[in-house]
Amino acid sequence: MNKLVITAAIVGAEVSRQDNPNLPLNPEEIAQAAIAAGEAGAAIIHLHARDSNGTPTQSKEVFRRTMDLIKRYSKVILQVSTGGTVGMTLAERLQPISLRPEMATLTTGSVNFGQAVFCNSPEDIRSLALELAAYGVKPEVEVFEVGMINNAWELVQKGVLQLPLHFDLVLGVPGGIPATAKNLLHLVESLPKDSSWSVAGIGRHELPLSILAISMGGHVRVGFEDNVYYAKGELAQSNAQLVQRIARLAKEMGREVASPDEARQLLGLGH
Ligand code: KMH
Ligand code: ZN
């Protein structure tokens, strides 16, 4: 089987220190968490940013500072969020793209997100995809519902997105596709041929879906953005602890963990 690419989603936009006091928030803390996650086996860091109050921000300067700090000590692939948090304008969300990260997310549809709505109109999705292409940034297509796969495919047919695509299948967001094995299989079977994919199981679904993905030849995303627990009733000490467990399980299951450079090759990243 191919090597396993582990993504660490280390901060997100919706979790807080009340959920887990070990959540990294400022650029220094986020960089430290990213570097430790890389040392534990993560090849990709999915990056959000917070301002000095801990509020989600897409500020280019905050992203720049965080990314510079990480790059100083680690070769991990940096994947910036273009989702930000619900309610942000498209212009806000786009800001870090001009920093030319190696990857960025692209959610190809709208979905209820807890009590809010994560809005991605066809026009906004197209603008985001074109912006990524203009800066040579590889998209990771974020899928919260099965129709989002078809929306990505339509953009391929229109020449806006290029094959092969890399997907992150997010299961278990309240309002999105439920986290079941049957749904994961359906999503995977719906992907365009030769796509690569990772799975992000939300909350308690993180571990069982990760194990399924390791078995199926997919890749895995873990981290505080998706889940703040190590086990029922036991908060995770760090993002690295969650990554370490996946690396350990993968080894037990006969899959080697990809280094950042191996992940670059696997994902067709040009630099
Ligand atoms: N915070 C969510 C509303 C992304 O990073 O692109 C969207 C999200 C996806 O986290
Ligand atoms: Zn995110």
Query: Domains of the chain (ranges plus CATH)?
Result: 6-267 (3.20.20.70)
Which atom belonging to ligand 1 lies closest to the Cα atom of 56? 1
| Ligand 2 centre distance from Cα of residue 109 (Å) | 15
Which atom belonging to ligand 1 lies closest to the Cα atom of 104? 6
Nearest CA to ligand 1 atom 10: 83
Which atom belonging to ligand 1 lies closest to the Cα atom of 118? 3
Strand-pair partners of 62: none
Strand-pair partners of 200: 170
In the numeric block, the tokens 């100083």 are attached to 72
Torsion of CA 211, 217, 203, 17, to 10 degrees: 110
- pLDDT tens-digit readout, 3-25: 999 999 999 999 999 999 999 99
- Which of 80, 105, 113 maximizes ligand 1 atoms within 8 Å of its Cβ, making it the mutation to test the pocket? 105
| Cα separation of the two ends of the chain | 25
- Which of 57, 110, 118 maximizes ligand 1 atoms within 8 Å of its Cβ, making it the mutation to test the pocket? 118
Burial 89-102 (b: 16+ CB within 10 A, else e): ebeebbbbbebebb
If pLDDT is split at 50, 70 and 90, which confidence band does 96 have? very high
| Ligand 1 centre distance from Cα of residue 164 (Å) | 22
Mean of the pLDDT values across residues 97-101? Answer: 98
- This model's pTM is above 0.75: yes
If pLDDT is split at 50, 70 and 90, which confidence band does 118 have? very high
Mean of the pLDDT values across residues 103-123? Answer: 98
Which atom belonging to ligand 1 lies closest to the Cα atom of 105? 6
Q: What is the pLDDT of residue 54?
A: 97
- pLDDT tens-digit readout, 123-165: 999 999 999 999 999 999 999 999 999 999 999 999 999 999 9
Q: How big is the CA angle at 220 (ends 214 and 226), to the nearest 5 degrees?
A: 135
Q: What is the pLDDT of residue 266?
A: 98
Alpha carbon distance 149, 218 (integer Å): 16
User: What are the start-end ranges of the E strands in 82-172?
Assistant: 103-107, 111-113, 116-118, 138-143, 166-171
- Which of 10, 85, 173 maximizes ligand 1 atoms within 8 Å of its Cβ, making it the mutation to test the pocket? 85
Rg (CA), the chain: 17
**Residue 83 CA: which ligand is closest?**
1
Please report which helix (H) or strand (E) contains residue 29, including its range: helix 27-40
Whether the pLDDT of residue 182 is over 60: the answer is yes
Q: Kindly list the protein residues whose Cβ atom lies closer than 6 A to any atom of ligand 1.
A: 13-14, 81-83, 85-86, 105, 107, 113, 118, 142
